[in-house]
């Protein structure tokens, strides 16, 4: 079991951003995977080019054998049940130190996550940016 800066896990520690469609909903997320095995993720639900809902999840994470496993403990800072619904696994394929492909075993969606700095804020959804 590897957390934080243990061998190999350092590629998944830190702050990450991705956007895409899951279960028919366009999402953006910024996630912070702490070296202590905890995470916080801010998720925006996008309809058209507008944010229709936002939520924050917290919990714990582990990375071993190319599998990223997360247990969500709170949603919007309210405790959630310890059920499979709040337990997720991704097959993680690091591309380089700043990019990782995450295949969600449950939804079968692949996310392309990029490492971002602490001052990074949500951009306009990529399908809404003007040229």
User: Is the pLDDT reported for residue 106 higher than 90?
Assistant: yes
Domains annotated for the chain, with CATH where assigned, are 9-119 (2.40.128.640)
The whole-number pLDDT of residue 73 equals 98
Average pLDDT value for residue range 78-99: 95
Name the pTM for this structure: 0.88
User: Is the pLDDT reported for residue 46 higher than 70?
Assistant: yes
The whole-number pLDDT of residue 130 equals 60
pLDDT digits (tens, 9 = 90+) for 64-83: 999 999 999 999 999 999 99
Burial 76-113 (b: 16+ CB within 10 A, else e): eeeebeeeeebebebebeeeeeeebebbeeeeeeebeb
Considering only residues 130 and 34, tell me which one the structure prediction assigns the higher pLDDT.
34
Measuring CA to CA, how many Å separate 74 from each of 57, 58, 60, 88, 129? 6, 5, 10, 14, 32
């Amino acid at each position: 079991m590897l957390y934080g800066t243990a061998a190999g896990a350092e590629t998944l520690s830190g702050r990450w951003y991705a956007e895409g469609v899951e279960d028919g909903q366009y999402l953006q997320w910024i996630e912070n995977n702490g070296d202590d095995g905890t995470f916080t993720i801010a998720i925006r639900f996008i309809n058209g080019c507008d944010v229709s809902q936002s939520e924050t999840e917290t919990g714990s994470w582990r990375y071993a054998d190319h599998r990223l496993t997360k247990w969500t403990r709170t949603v919007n800072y309210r405790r959630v049940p310890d059920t499979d619904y709040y337990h997720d696994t991704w097959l993680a394929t690091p591309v380089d130190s700043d990019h990782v492909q995450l295949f969600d075993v449950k939804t079968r969606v692949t996310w392309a996550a990029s490492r971002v700095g602490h001052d990074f804020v949500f951009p306009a959804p990529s399908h809404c940016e003007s040229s």
